[in-house]
Structure 1
Amino acid sequence: MKIQSILVQLLMIIAFLLQLEAMAQPHNLCEAVLDTDGNELQPGIPYYIVSAIRGGHGGGLSIGIRARSSSRTPIVKQHSHGMNFGSPVIFSPSPYPSGKPAGIQSLREVPSTPSSSQEMTIHESTNLNIKFMEMPGVWQVNESGRDRYVTLEGKPGQPGESTVKNWFKFQRFDESSPTYRIRYCPGVCHSCHVTCGDIGITKEHGTRWLSVSKRGEFPFVFIKASNYNEAN
């Protein structure tokens, strides 16, 4: 009986230690990104990126021109009205999430879109191009004074040093809901120096521009465009 009691206690201790280890482990960045229906995000499918905070925190995303910008560069902005979902975007994963593989001498040898044999699900560790459906350029981080705005000047694909500003990732806020942040910390160029940050909102004369921030972020959800359009 004593031996059985000791074995039971040992099993309970082992189970407790395993639970502590699981709780201490970091969030799994290989988890699939989900839309508001609980389905996995798919490359090439249009989605709306909409504020996860309803009521006074804005709606979806579209394109605008800053009044103070002399270059007239198109910049991603957030609609101030929560019911305006903006324009749909599509996502294109890097075919090489960890950068240019050994043996590839030129970026021209890297395909710009994933092959049909690649996994067609977007994960939190996936490096992505993001683009509005009606625009040729992909999102790109560019500096303007002290701010780094999200513009539409990037060229799609070709992961590496020349396109390092064009890649983004998604990171989940809360395990209980499909709410995410946009993370600018590209992993497509190991030799590049990048100051990472989350995408937040810079307010200017009533307009909400997307910019890279070290202190704030923009919590959002993905709404599949076809589902929203059918419902409306």
Structure 2
Amino acid sequence: MKIKHVAFLLVFALISQPLLGAGESVHEPVIDTSGEKLRADSNYHIIPAVPFTICGFVSCFTGGGLALGSIDDESCPLDVVVEKADEGLPLRFLPFNTKKGVIRVSTDLNIFFSDADERCPHHSTVWRLGDFDASTGQTYVTTGGVVGSPNQHTILNWFQIHKYEDAYKLVYCHGVCPSCQHSCKDVGVFVDGNRRMHLALSDDPFKVKFKRA
């Protein structure tokens, strides 16, 4: 009788456990516009999932992909901006675990433009979170970060890709320094007084998709 009871408990315990891999759905691969998995060894364009239009003083234009720019076109390091009706510059994604070739949702990664920019040759194109800009009330996504080296000094360099409705969004978030205080925050688009579109922390996420370059 006791044996049957023990056997019943073992069976119940087994069927009560999540199926192997069920908890991994959070970390499913990020898929590009061709239906392929994003890979660390390939170049991509980050483009709007839904086309949007910005109107200036004279004309309107459709927002495109991401590139490098700044408020005054002279300051270094350069910020991450949205190009006008253009796919922008190619980027790469490097996961925290560099042995993993596939980029997965909700995992820590570095993002960087594939090519250097001659305007700021002494700064890397690795994304990092900039300082709070009191004049605009924004915290921009800028460059000049470093790849890897996870510690309290590099936490501003880590981002994640999250599922968002039928597409994706970019999130400043990290788990590389468990002892560091941090909070995840969506990345959106801020239009400055000169109608330049900057990536910045926002309550309104920038809905994006990824196109192989």
TM-score under structure 2 length normalisation: 0.76
Task: Look up the match of 2:185.
Answer: 197
Deviation at 1:70, TM superposition (A): 8.7
Looking at structure 2, the residues matched to 65 and 42 of structure 1 have their Cα atoms a distance apart, in angstroms, of 29
Task: Look up the match of 1:39.
Answer: 36
Task: Look up the match of 2:106.
Answer: 125
- Report the 3-state secondary structure (helix = DSSP H, G, I; strand = E; otherwise coil) of the residue aligned with 1:29: helix
Where does structure 2 lack aligned partners over 5 or more consecutive residues? 1-21, 54-61, 117-123
Query: Are 1:76 and 2:80 matched, yes or no?
Result: yes
- Report the 3-state secondary structure (helix = DSSP H, G, I; strand = E; otherwise coil) of the residue aligned with 1:60: strand
Q: 2:108–2:160: 8 Å Cα contact kept in structure 1? A: yes
Where does structure 1 lack aligned partners over 5 or more consecutive residues? 1-24, 96-113, 226-232
Structure 1 residue ranges (4+ consecutive) displaced by more than 4 angstroms after TM superposition: none
**Which of 46, 49, 54 is the aligned partner of 1:49?**
46
Q: CA RMSD in A?
A: 2.5
Q: 1:137–1:154: 8 Å Cα contact kept in structure 2? A: yes
Which whole-Å deviations, capped at 9, do the CAs of 1:34-68 have from their partners, x for residues lacking one? Answer: 0001111000210000011125251100000112x
How many residues align structurally? 176
Deviation at 1:162, TM superposition (A): 1.1
Query: Are 1:152 and 2:143 matched, yes or no?
Result: yes
Q: Percent identity?
A: 32
Deviation at 1:123, TM superposition (A): 0.8
Task: Look up the match of 1:89.
Answer: 91
Structure 1 pair 27–201 and aligned structure 2 pair: CA distance change class (3 A): farther
Looking at structure 2, the residues matched to 203 and 26 of structure 1 have their Cα atoms a distance apart, in angstroms, of 39
Matches within 5 A, 1:1-232: 28-56=25-53, 58-67=63-72, 71-81=75-85, 84-95=86-97, 114=98, 118-135=99-116, 136-143=124-131, 144-145=133-134, 146-174=137-165, 177=166, 179-204=167-192, 205-213=194-202, 215-225=203-213
Structure 1 pair 27–94 and aligned structure 2 pair: CA distance change class (3 A): closer
More helix by share: 1
Deviation at 1:199, TM superposition (A): 0.5
Q: 1:80–1:207: 8 Å Cα contact kept in structure 2? A: no
Looking at structure 2, the residues matched to 55 and 216 of structure 1 have their Cα atoms a distance apart, in angstroms, of 14
Looking at structure 2, the residues matched to 148 and 54 of structure 1 have their Cα atoms a distance apart, in angstroms, of 24
